């Protein structure tokens, strides 16, 4: 299904780029802290190629939207942006390394504007990332509709577009 969607987007002129993130087990571990800022993520290896960084930088300059396909892409791009910022750069550049980025409500996105993702487990870091992008109330409403309409949840379920 996802590949069909991506093919349809390509046919409409949408540029598709690749990134790499080796997902850690901590991504799926429930957040048990009362204060979510205290939750510790396991480090995950990521890599962003120069061509991808250049294409994203150009898209941002031209005012085009960056749509991540999956939360792993969000974490990769935002980790790369954090690294660029630490190196006093305004733009993305080729990079690789380990990140323990935890995106939750209140996070200020630097690269990603929109997201295609599935419906995630409650109290997971992934649902918190989705809420950071779209807002908790909107996501709760989306989940309410998804349950009512009998959408499939989790990794091999239905997807949603968030902006």
Name the more confident of 10 and 51: 51
**Of 46, 25, 160, nearest to 111 (Cα)?**
46
Please say whether the beta carbons of 118 and 155 come within 8 A: yes
Helix or strand run (H / E) with residue 20: strand 20-21
Q: Could you tell me the pTM of the whole model?
A: 0.90
CB 45: neighbour CB atoms within 10 A?
A: 14
pLDDT 10s digits, 81-136: 999 999 999 999 999 999 999 999 999 999 999 999 988 888 889 999 999 999 99
CATH superfamily of 14-162: QueA-like (3.40.1780.10)
pLDDT band at 67 (very low <50, low <70, confident <90, very high): very high
pLDDT of residue 53: 98
């Amino acid at each position: 299904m996802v590949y069909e969607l991506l093919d349809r987007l390509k046919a409409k002129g949408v540029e598709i780029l690749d990134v790499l993130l080796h997902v850690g087990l901590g991504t799926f571990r429930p957040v048990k802290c009362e204060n979510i800022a205290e939750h510790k993520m396991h480090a995950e290896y990521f890599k962003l190629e120069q061509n991808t960084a250049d294409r994203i930088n150009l898209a941002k300059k031209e005012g085009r939207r960056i749509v991540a396909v999956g939360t792993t892409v969000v974490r990769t791009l935002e980790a790369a942006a954090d690294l660029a910022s630490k190196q006093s750069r305004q733009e993305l550049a080729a990079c690789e390394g380990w990140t323990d980025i935890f995106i939750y409500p209140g996070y200020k996105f630097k690269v990603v504007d929109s997201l295609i993702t599935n419906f995630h487990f409650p109290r997971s870091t992934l649902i918190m990332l989705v809420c950071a992008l779209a807002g908790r109330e909107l996501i709760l409403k989306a989940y309410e509709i998804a349950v009512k309409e009998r959408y499939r949840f989790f990794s091999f379920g239905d997807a949603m577009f968030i902006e």
